[in-house]
Amino acid sequence: MRFLSFILASMLVCSASLAQNTSVNDFYNSMKGEFSGQSTSEDHRPLYAVVLGAAAIGLAALAVRHWSVRPAPKPGVKAPPKSQKKLMAEAAKLAGVSKSHMKQLESLAKAEGLSSPLVAIICPSVLKKMSQDARTEHQKHAITALARQMTKK
């Protein structure tokens, strides 16, 4: 990449000097004078402007290339779901919980004051506390059935 930008800058310098109706020998002599420390009577500001312009274009191209490169996604990795409903459905599927048990768990989680039924699926101690705090036999049966279904897998 550096070599390519060097060639581009050289071409721009050569074209700028040829555009001023100078010969190749004049260009060679001016460059030789620059490197040997001798001063020439010509004004080199246009040449410096062209070189700085080429360097700025090269740096801009590198910056755009750097910012436009995106990392390749890892194979087999899906993006996380963006809505809580989709996340709950995916967690229930991974935990082996049926839709009917998930609906019961949602109502029990609301009754217990949990922020989401996912808390009960992820944290077994919360599920145990929910079964101990269950008010009715129906709630206790729903929680134990859910725990059985989760441990089958």
**Separation CA 119–CA 126 (nearest Å):** 7
Per-residue tokens: 39 = 């001063």
Asked if the structure places residue 41 within a domain, the reply is: yes
Asked if the structure places residue 146 within a domain, the reply is: yes
> pLDDT, tens digit, for every residue of 51-77?
999 999 999 999 888 888 777 767 777
Alpha helix (H) residue ranges in 20-44: 24-36
Amino acid identity for residue 91 in this structure: A
Asked if the structure places residue 74 within a domain, the reply is: no
Which one, of 65, 49, 69, lies nearest residue 4 by Cα?
Answer: 65
Task: Verify that 88 and 146 share a domain, yes or no.
Answer: yes
**Separation CA 17–CA 26 (nearest Å):** 9
Domain stops at, among 44, 68, 92: 68
Asked if the structure places residue 76 within a domain, the reply is: no
Task: Verify that 41 and 94 share a domain, yes or no.
Answer: no
Range of the domain at 63: 2-68
Which one, of 108, 133, 111, lies nearest residue 121 by Cα?
Answer: 108
Mean pLDDT of 132-152: 79
Asked if the structure places residue 73 within a domain, the reply is: no
pLDDT at 94: 81
Total number of domains in the chain: 2
Task: Verify that 95 and 143 share a domain, yes or no.
Answer: yes
**Separation CA 40–CA 74 (nearest Å):** 60
**Separation CA 33–CA 26 (nearest Å):** 10
Burial class (CB in 10 A: 0-12, 13-18, 19+), 101: buried
H or E element at residue 84? helix 84-95
Asked if the structure places residue 101 within a domain, the reply is: yes
> Model-level pTM?
0.42
Task: Verify that 58 and 89 share a domain, yes or no.
Answer: no
Asked if the structure places residue 79 within a domain, the reply is: no
Strand blocks (E) in 60-141: none
pLDDT at 60: 93
pLDDT at 23: 67
pLDDT at 59: 93
